[in-house]
Every structure is written in C-alpha cells, then in structure tokens.
Structure 1
C-alpha cells in the first residue's frame, strides 16, 4: 500500500490566506494528504483559530490587507506558548527573493515557500516543521 498521501495524517494545519481561491486550493491539497485543515481569511481570524483549535502548524500568506503575515507572526509569537505562541509556521507567498525569505524567517516563520508552490515542497515544509515539533 502506498502511504505517500498519508504523510500528514493527524496533523492539524491552519491555512491563512485572504484570497479565497488560494485558500481553498491549499486546503484541498492538504486534505488530500490527510491533514486536518482549518482555514482563515485574514490574520485576525487566524489568531482566533490558533487559540481555539491549537493547530500543529500554520501556513500563512504574507501579503494580506490590514494585518500582513509578518505582523500576524509577531502577534502570534507574543502569545503565551499554551495559547499557541510557539506554533510552527510556513510562509506561503508571492515574495520569493532571498531577502523576502530572510525577512519571513526573522519574523518567526520556520519555512518559506514562493507561490506558485510545488505540491511536494509544501508537503515537505510542513513535514519538516512538524517533525521538529514532535521531536521536542
């Protein structure tokens, strides 16, 4: 039996993206890999979802109105650990330059992927940050 599609089984992922189509596509892809996916349309909703559902990992867009992904990450990291402040996160963004990657990592993301993303790269990024989480 091929278990490749079960690699995210049992992993709770919060997807934050203000673009409904991008959010739906990312959610669909992760669901096909058996992740338990929660979605939010903006950073404020994302923070609420983190505190209500305590996801294992967050996949967040950067370029969002009102509160962008960098601001979201700073707000998230200011939360106590028991409220989700240490939740690993991957930036999924159209900003793909090396300095954009460095800015995302400096803001508190553990991974950075450029849109359009390769499916396997997204799965690998999520697997990587969740392996680190479950090792601790």
Structure 2
C-alpha cells in the first residue's frame, strides 16, 4: 500500500455495506491511514447517523436489502438541497456489470469496485475530502 499524507488523520468516514466482512475490511484499511470510521449495515442506519453527525466522506454499497445506495444518496442530496452542504460520496459495488453513470447520476461523486486495491480506496477518499497529495 502506498503511504498517504498525514493529512488523512482524523478524516471522518461513514461506510455503509450490508456485508460484515466488507465493512470490517474497509474500516481496517482506512483506520490504518489515520481515518476515523463509522460503519453501518443499512441505508436507514446511515441516514440516522448522518442526521446526528456529519462525516467528511460517505462510502456506500449500491446493492443492499431494504434500501439501495442509490436511494440513500438521492435522499441525502434532497436533504442537502433544503439544508445546504454537500457530503462527498463514493458508490461501491462487487458487481462487474454495475453502471457507473447510473451511480454518478444518482448523486455519487465517485465509483469504486469493492475489490479495488486498498490504495485506490484511500486515494479516492482523500480526493473526495480535498486532501489528496500533490
């Protein structure tokens, strides 16, 4: 894994994925870079967290039972339209045939495959947070 700048220390990331092993893996990778991670298993739980505490970046699975990532990001963007602000967000998926354009049109700022290299995760989150290295 490439070494990322210290400026990632304390970056707050909300991870949303219904698969426990994926949530735990992403959490380990991001915390190793100094980020503070809150991980939840559903879109509903994520929206509750967002109402109470605004993270710096959202990492959200697209396909989840009980509410997709696309539904969640649309809900977040509608809330932001009324309340202001913008939460940088990346969609994640394990499916090769997932439509990147559909995710971007739904309101995500970036798109990652779950099996991307860990440094890609870190670099994408750093860019979304405006903390990418030069």
Instruction: State TM-score, norm by structure 2.
Output: 0.87
* 1:83 CA drift (Å): 6.0
Alignment of 1:41-60 (within 5 A): 41-60=41-60
The answer to whether structure 1 residue 87 and structure 2 residue 87 are counterparts is yes
Q: Where in structure 2 are there 5+ consecutive unaligned residues?
A: none
Aligned residue for 1:38? 38
| CA distance 1:81–1:4, change in 2 (3 Å) | same
Provide the secondary structure at the position in 2 that maps to 1:44. Answer: helix
Structure (1 or 2) with the greater helix fraction: 1
Aligned equivalent of 1:73 = 73
Question: For residues 117 and 7 of structure 1, do their structure 2 counterparts lie closer, same or farther at Cα, with a shift above 3 Å needed?
Answer: farther
Q: Aligned in 2, Cα 1:30/1:41: closer, same or farther, shift over 3 Å?
A: same
- 1:85 offset after TM fit, Å? 5.9
Aligned residues: 130
Q: In the TM superposition, what is the alpha-carbon distance from 1:7 to its structure 2 partner? A: 4.6
Deviations 1:71-111 (A, max 9, x none): 111111111368686211011112344x6111111111111
What secondary structure sits across from 1:80 in the alignment?
Answer: helix
TM-score by length of 1: 0.86
- Matched ranges for 1:1-136 at <5 A: 4=4, 6-80=6-80, 86-97=86-97, 100-131=99-130
